[in-house]
């Protein structure tokens, strides 16, 4: 019988653990772990996402520092704010919500964040530390995906993992995490020959390409763990399905063969914010020299 991996439940349990540990941190160090979230402009999706982050940060017994800037904010002004947050002892984590307006270089902004406060795990230093197997702050979505995999399979040693997608946000970091867990990893992408056959060899299949229902049911190895990172809204032309959210995997087809699979929505998505809170707590502990 296929296990539907409940990302909401796993994320809720993680947030509860973080809140408990945050209370202990506050009791010992006299202040709450602090997360600063910066939003430039008024993109509707980003505003909703930032609102959720602020609310869940407070529910996790942490301090939330919200900075909403107008769309016309200059790159120099945004970088100045980031530097101010770098120097603020009450701020343990900094997240600049992406995308930023087109006149701002997001790469410059990411590199301006103190790596010790880079709770999105996107700074080149943190990417390098992940590659080298050193302690650092890992990107939230891959970290959450790994926790979901481990919720159904603790030991990944020797398993064949196929990651579809090579982005710096998900594909590359989760491949490094899977390697660190002793899986044998194959990275697939748009130039991969015979992608269906590659997927059929996977004990663990991670789909992170942003193509609605790319992975069909007959691409799945019986009993495989399928992690669907994609979140796509179908266009109005899809008739009865218009506006429906789907992943990169054809869920109804794939769940027939998969041993465990994440749904969309309700799978990887909730884990991203939960891991952001965990990263903030980790950053706070490291800044005061504490261990987990």
**Strand 245-246 to strand 184-188: parallel, antiparallel, or no bridges (unpaired)?**
unpaired
Residue 99 has a CB neighbour count (10 Å cut-off) of: 12
**Of residues 120, 203, 228, 248, which has the active-site annotation?**
120
Quote the Cα angle for 209-213-215, to 5°.
75
Q: Are 282 and 126 in contact (CB under 8 A)?
A: no
**Of residues 53, 117, 221, 255, which has the active-site annotation?**
53
**Of residues 21, 92, 97, 114, which has the active-site annotation?**
97
Is there a catalytic annotation at residue 111? no
Is there a catalytic annotation at residue 89? no
Is there a catalytic annotation at residue 97? yes
Task: Enter the tokens of residue 185.
Answer: 């990893």
* Residues that are catalytic: 53, 97, 120
């Amino acid at each position: 019988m296929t296990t539907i991996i409940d990302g909401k439940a796993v994320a809720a349990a993680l947030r509860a653990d973080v809140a408990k540990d945050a209370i202990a941190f506050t009791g010992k160090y006299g202040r709450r772990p602090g997360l600063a979230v910066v939003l430039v402009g008024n993109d509707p999706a980003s505003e909703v996402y930032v609102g959720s982050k602020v609310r869940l940060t407070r529910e996790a017994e942490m301090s939330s520092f919200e900075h909403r800037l107008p769309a016309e904010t200059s790159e120099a002004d945004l970088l100045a704010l980031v530097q101010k947050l770098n120097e603020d002892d009450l701020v343990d984590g900094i997240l600049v919500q992406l995308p930023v307006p087109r006149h701002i270089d997001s790469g410059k902004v990411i590199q301006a964040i103190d790596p010790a406060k880079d709770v999105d795990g996107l700074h080149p230093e943190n990417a390098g530390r992940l590659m080298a197997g050193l302690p650092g702050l890992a990107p939230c979505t891959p970290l959450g995906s790994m926790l979901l995999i481990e919720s159904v399979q603790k030991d990944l040693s020797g398993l064949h993992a196929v990651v579809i997608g090579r982005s710096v946000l998900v594909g590359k970091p989760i491949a490094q995490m899977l390697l660190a867990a002793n899986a044998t990893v194959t990275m697939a992408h748009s130039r991969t020959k015979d992608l269906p056959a590659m997927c059929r060899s996977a004990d663990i299949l991670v789909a992170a390409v942003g193509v609605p229902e790319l992975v069909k049911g007959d691409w799945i190895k019986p009993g495989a763990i399928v992690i669907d990172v994609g979140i796509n809204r179908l266009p109005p032309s899809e008739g009865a399905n218009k506006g429906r959210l789907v992943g990169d995997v054809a869920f109804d087809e794939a769940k027939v063969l998969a041993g465990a699979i994440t749904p969309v929505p309700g799978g990887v998505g909730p884990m991203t914010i939960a891991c952001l809170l965990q990263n903030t707590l980790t950053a706070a502990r490291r800044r005061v020299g504490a261990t987990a």
